[in-house]
Amino acid sequence: MAMKHVEIIHNPGAGDEKFGEKELVKLLEEKGFECNYLSTKEKSWKEFSTKTDLLLVAGGDGTIRKVAEEVLESKLINRPNPIALLPLGTANNITKALGVEGDPKAIVDCWKFGKTKTYDVGKVYNVADQKFFLESFGYGVFPYLMQEMKKVGEREDATPEENLQQALEFLHQIILSYEPKECKLEVDGTDHSGKFLLAEIMNTPSIGPNLLISPLSDPGDGEFEIVLVPEQHKEKFATYVEGKLRGLEETYSFNTLKGKNISISWEGTHVHIDDQIVKMEKGAEVKVQIKKGLLEFLVP
């Protein structure tokens, strides 16, 4: 791929913070690129150039979402070049879904082949200040997990693996104490309402602490997977997460639907949109539609 100039948008606090500005710029310059470095810790990062050969997002899922929001809300969506990714976060659910994993040097080497993948976006209606998601939208145990994790925060002296383990421990406790809620759910015109521990509209295979709840999800296939855990599967789900804590990869068959247009409401008040938690009116109806291929990424 013939390109020279890279606009880097980097979250220096991502993951274990071992990959800083100097290491990042050095890596790219050694590969023959000219670089302009922007840190998400500075407000000026949103002023990135639209004339660059390549836009590189170096960080985790939250950083990718921030940049995607700017791209989707600007004329950048019409730019011909795809976005490159370096996964430096804790979970990296988006880059895992795209197959962008491993050593940063090897990832950069793959850019020369110019292989790309389009990425669908979930359009959300009737949620204040939230318009879209890249990973997942859902109710139930995961918004509560995110609330707990925000309270305690990630340990600065911990590795990403240790922080993921801590999140799984919290999730196991939440599953055991959570009371299933009534959910009104319509997928492409068919009713699937019931009482659930979680209802997740998935665009990526994994969620939160790398929990693989939708292994068949492909963010470029033009449809969502809707994952449901009914109240009668509470113990089964808890056992599955407990196994993950012990390093076991046990098979768990989640109730999964496929769809493009979804109407959903929940007996509770909290929903998550990617890593954002939103408080809503109990039972408020939300509509979700898939918008096919709005983003494009470089992939191995």
Q: Label residues 178-200 b or e (16+ Cβ within 10 Å = b).
A: bebbebbbbbeeeebebebbbbb
Q: Binning pLDDT at 50, 70 and 90, where does residue 73 land?
A: confident
Tokens of 206: 């994994």
Task: For strands 286-298 and 54-59, give the pairing.
Answer: unpaired
What mean pLDDT do residues 222-235 have? 96
- pTM here? 0.94
The listed range with the strongest mean pLDDT (67-71, 146-150, 286-290) is 286-290
Q: 143-191: per-residue pLDDT in tens?
A: 999 998 888 776 667 787 888 899 999 999 999 999 999 999 999 999 9
Distance CA 24, CA 137 (A): 32
For residues 125-144, average pLDDT: 95
Asked if pLDDT for residue 3 goes beyond 80, the answer is no
Could you give all domains of the chain from N- to C-terminal order, each with its CATH number? 5-114 (3.40.50.10330), 123-292 (2.60.200.40)
Q: What does the alpha-carbon distance between residue 197 and residue 183 come to, in Å, rounded to a whole number?
A: 10
